[in-house]
Structure formats: structure tokens, C-alpha cells
């Protein structure tokens, strides 16, 4: 096997996964060392209530009657000192406006902005930004529930003068099925780790619309959200990078989003994501000429992730099948087992660091086999549309309201506990 091409390939893979594990360990070690330093200086850098800037949270909503109430109530529970919540009804045909109106009647900080026809998420966000009265903007999706300290955590880098825009930490809120667990592992290990690394290098390529904060002046100077791609948050993030505005990732600012629960809805979501990211690559390819962290690190990795990573992961899974009748097949499986074990250790380190549910780690080998095969389908469809310059629809997901129901049940349980204590 020593001179066999498959042997060289597997040795290269082992080297790659070993290097990846070392990088993950070094990244976690540096983060934890930084956290120790921050704890020692946190008392001296405490932010007074009067120092917090006014914040307008913009929530675009199109037919979100199942989930919008839970989103707004979670924002109200943050108790941010100077808060305005703007729900932009993007031409909904259901009871979204009525639900928000009922909440606004009881809370002066909640306002409804009504668009009489559906204009799309980007234009709805811009309508909210125009209506905002605050100096900072936070975007939150209508199917998202925020942690109680989300606004304070995500605004802290802006208050301390470290950033013009901040990306929040997005977690999957509904993990009742295998597909959602796979997505949770992806969010926790891939998206969070990449953003942490990019933040250290000032090369963040996506400030997720599901939970991010901006100085309003920075948002306007970058041109706001545009409908020219299916990934308006990535497009805006790359425009902020072009303007040399500071972007950081705040892992302590947690939001819980609703992940697709059917393969069909997950497929449609990923087609839109991949296609939108490909559009953003084409629009911002010129930034590669700049000599900065974005051109040397951020954009090359972004291009790799959206054009090469998915087919390479697919080939990694199917490669041993080409040698299934060869005597080398059993040796290949040993090499592959070593690669999976190295990745498993890396996932375990990340889960230990972020204090996520350890039970999900058991699904890593299954995700290794199934996820690359599934992702190849939306990748091919998105690439076909991109190369042929064919449009991709928004394909709005059908809400299951699992996250909203979970929050409501926890709230009801807490209320019962209070009543019992009385």
C-alpha cells in the first residue's frame, strides 16, 4: 500500500485532519486565555445604564403568525434600557399584523411597520431601518428567540468602541429530529468556529441577519440591505468589509433559530444559501486585489466553502467505494476511521468549550456519512442556476413553531412555579 495512490491520499487526509485538530485546540486555548484576562478587567470596564446607546430591533415578518409573538416577547424580556422593537409586516396575508398590534397595545416600545405588498426581506429590513429612531440597529428574524442578555452582550463591543458591526451566536432551537441535530452540530462546530477565527483576523464574511448589531451610520454608509442576492446579510457584510468597517463575532450573544424539520425544506433553504453566497462571490471578487485580511483569508475561505468544500466532502465519503473490490479497501477504512476519530475529538473539544449538549457528539459519525451526500444535491442545483444565470426564489420555509412552543411552555412552567411559591 505504501506506493499506492490511495495511500498517499489517505496520508494527506490524516495530516490535514491532524492539523485541523491542532488548530481547533490552539484556537480554544487562545479564547480561554483571553476570557481569563477579560474576567480580570471586567469590573473596571463595566458599562453604566446611561452609556448604553438606544437600539432599534428590526424584525422582518412575512406570514409569521405562528412565531412572531414568541420573538417579540423574548426581546421584551431582555430589559434593555433604551429599546425600540420594530416589526416590519412584509405584506402578510395571515394574522401577523393583528398579533403584533395586540402586543404593541401593551408595550409602548413595540411598533408595527406595515408594507402593503410583499417586497422581500432586504427591502423590509431597509424599511425598518428608515423607521428606526435609534443610533444602533439590531436585526432578528421572526422565527428567532433571543437569550435574556442578548442585547447587552451584542451591543457591548460597540459600546466599548471595538466594532461597527457585531455578529451574534446562532444556535438551533429545535433539536427534536436527526436533521435538526445535524444542523445543530454544523452551527456549533463549523459556523461558530469559523466566525471566531475570522473575528480574530477581522475577516468576517457573514453577519447573520438572524441576530446581528450595527451602528446605524455604518449600515447606511454601506448602502443598507440590497435585494440583488439571495444572501442579503453576506452581501452587506462584504460591503462593510469594503469600507474597512470593524466587524467582530460575539459568542456570548445567543439567539435560537428554527431549523427546517423536513428534508424538502432543508434542501430549499440550502439551495438559496449556496446560490446567494455564489452571487456574493461574483459581486465582491474584486476585493481579492486588496491587501488585507479579507483578501488574504476571508474571501478565499468563503470561495472555497461555497464552490469546493461541498464536492470535496462528497468525494471524501464515496472515495473508498472505488476500491471496494480491491485488497486495499480494508486498509482504507482504517485510515478513514482515523480521520473520523480526529474530527470527533475536535467536535468534542468545541462542545466542551461552548458548553453545548454532549449527547449530540454521538451523531458525528452518522453526520459524516449522510450530510455530504445530502448537501451535494442543493449544491448542484445552486451551481446550475448560478452558471446559467437563472434566478432562485426565496422559498419561504413553513414554520413548525417548535422553538416558540418550547419558549411558551418554559414561560408557563416558570409562572406556575411562581404561583406555587406564593
Instruction: Classify residue 199: in a domain, yes or no.
Output: yes
Nearby residues of 415 by Cβ (< 8 Å), 6 or more positions away: none
Paired residues of 138 in beta bridges:
57, 213
Q: Tell me if 17 is assigned to some domain.
A: no
DSSP structure string for 143-195: T-EE-TTHHHHHHHHHHTTS-SEEEEEEEES--SSHHHHHHHHIIIIIIHHHH
Strand order in 247-257's β-sheet? Answer: 110-115, 83-90, 55-61, 136-140, 211-215, 165-172, 247-257, 145-146
Per-residue pLDDT at 46: 60
| Selection from 41, 287, 305, 293 nearest residue 160 by Cα | 41
In a domain, 184, yes or no: yes
Q: Which pLDDT score is estimated for 405? A: 80
Q: How many domains does the chain have?
A: 1
124 within 8 A of 232, measured Cβ to Cβ: no
- On whether residue 174 sits in a domain, the answer given is yes
CATH of the domain at 243: 3.90.550.10
> Which pLDDT score, from 0 to 100, does residue 416 have?
33
Q: Is 330 a member of any domain?
A: no
Looking at the domain assignment, is residue 69 inside a domain? yes
User: Radius of gyration (Cα) for the chain, nearest Å?
Assistant: 22
User: What are the Cα distances from residue 274, in Å, to 154, 266, 267, 270, 377?
Assistant: 27, 12, 11, 6, 11
**Per-block mean pLDDT, blocks of 10 residues, the chain (422 long):** 67 85 86 65 58 95 96 96 96 96 97 95 97 97 96 96 96 93 93 87 94 97 95 96 94 95 95 97 93 90 95 90 82 87 92 90 93 97 95 84 75 41 38
Predicted local confidence at residue 36, as pLDDT: 61
Q: What residues have CB less than 8 Å from 358, skipping those under 6 apart?
A: 348, 351, 352
Range of the domain at 97: 52-261
Q: Does residue 235 belong to any structural domain of this protein?
A: yes
DSSP 24-49: HHHHHHHHHHHHHHHHHHTTTTPPPG
171 lies in some domain: yes
For residues 288-298, one letter each, b for 16 or more C-beta atoms within 10 angstroms of the residue's C-beta and e for the rest, the string is eeeeebbbebb
- Residue 91's region, left for phi above 0, alpha for psi from -120 to 50, else beta, is left
Phi, psi (degrees; rounded to nearest 5) at 212: -145, 160
Amino acid at each position: 500500500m505504501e506506493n499506492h495512490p490511495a495511500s498517499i491520499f489517505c496520508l494527506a487526509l490524516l495530516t490535514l485532519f491532524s492539523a485541523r485538530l491542532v488548530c481547533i485546540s490552539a484556537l480554544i486555548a487562545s479564547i480561554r486565555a483571553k476570557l481569563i484576562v477579560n474576567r480580570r478587567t471586567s469590573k473596571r470596564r463595566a458599562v453604566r445604564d446611561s452609556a448604553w446607546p438606544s437600539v432599534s430591533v428590526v424584525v422582518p415578518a412575512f406570514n409569521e403568525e405562528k412565531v412572531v409573538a414568541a420573538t417579540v416577547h423574548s426581546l421584551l424580556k431582555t430589559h434593555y434600557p433604551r429599546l425600540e422593537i420594530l416589526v416590519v409586516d412584509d405584506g402578510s396575508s395571515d394574522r401577523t399584523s393583528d398579533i403584533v398590534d395586540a402586543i404593541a397595545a401593551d408595550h409602548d416600545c413595540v411598533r408595527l411597520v406595515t408594507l402593503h405588498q410583499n417586497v422581500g426581506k432586504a427591502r423590509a429590513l431597509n424599511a425598518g431601518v428608515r423607521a428606526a429612531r435609534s443610533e444602533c440597529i439590531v436585526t432578528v428574524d421572526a422565527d428567532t428567540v433571543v437569550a435574556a442578555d442578548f442585547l447587552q452582550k451584542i451591543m457591548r463591543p460597540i459600546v466599548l468602541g471595538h466594532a461597527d458591526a457585531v455578529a451574534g451566536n446562532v444556535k438551533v432551537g429545535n433539536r427534536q429530529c436527526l436533521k435538526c441535530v445535524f444542523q445543530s452540530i454544523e452551527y456549533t462546530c463549523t459556523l461558530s468556529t469559523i466566525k471566531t477565527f475570522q473575528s480574530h483576523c477581522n475577516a468576517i464574511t457573514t453577519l447573520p441577519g438572524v441576530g446581528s448589531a450595527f451602528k446605524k451610520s455604518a449600515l447606511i454608509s454601506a448602502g443598507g440591505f440590497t435585494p440583488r442576492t439571495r444572501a442579503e446579510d453576506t452581501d452587506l457584510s462584504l460591503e462593510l468589509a469594503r469600507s474597512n468597517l470593524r466587524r467582530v463575532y460575539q459568542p456570548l450573544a445567543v439567539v435560537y433559530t428554527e431549523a427546517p424539520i423536513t428534508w424538502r425544506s432543508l434542501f430549499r433553504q440550502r439551495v438559496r444559501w449556496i446560490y446567494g453566497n455564489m452571487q456574493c462571490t461574483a459581486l465582491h471578487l474584486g476585493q481579492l486585489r486588496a491587501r488585507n485580511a479579507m483578501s488574504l483569508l476571508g474571501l478565499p475561505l468563503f470561495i472555497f466553502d461555497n464552490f469546493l468544500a461541498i464536492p470535496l466532502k462528497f468525494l471524501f465519503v464515496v472515495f473508498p467505494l472505488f476500491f471496494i473490490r480491491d485488497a486495499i479497501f480494508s486498509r482504507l477504512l482504517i485510515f478513514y476511521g482515523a480521520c473520523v476519530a480526529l474530527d470527533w475529538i475536535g467536535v468534542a473539544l468545541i462542545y466542551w468549550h461552548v458548553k453545548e449538549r454532549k449527547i449530540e457528539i454521538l451523531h458525528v459519525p452518522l453526520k459524516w456519512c449522510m450530510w455530504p451526500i445530502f448537501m451535494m444535491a442543493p449544491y448542484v442545483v445552486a451551481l446550475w442556476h448560478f452558471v446559467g444565470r437563472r434566478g432562485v426564489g426565496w422559498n419561504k420555509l413553513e414554520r413548525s413553531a417548535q422553538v416558540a412552543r418550547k419558549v411558551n411552555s418554559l414561560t408557563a412552567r416558570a409562572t406556575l412555579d411562581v404561583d406555587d411559591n406564593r
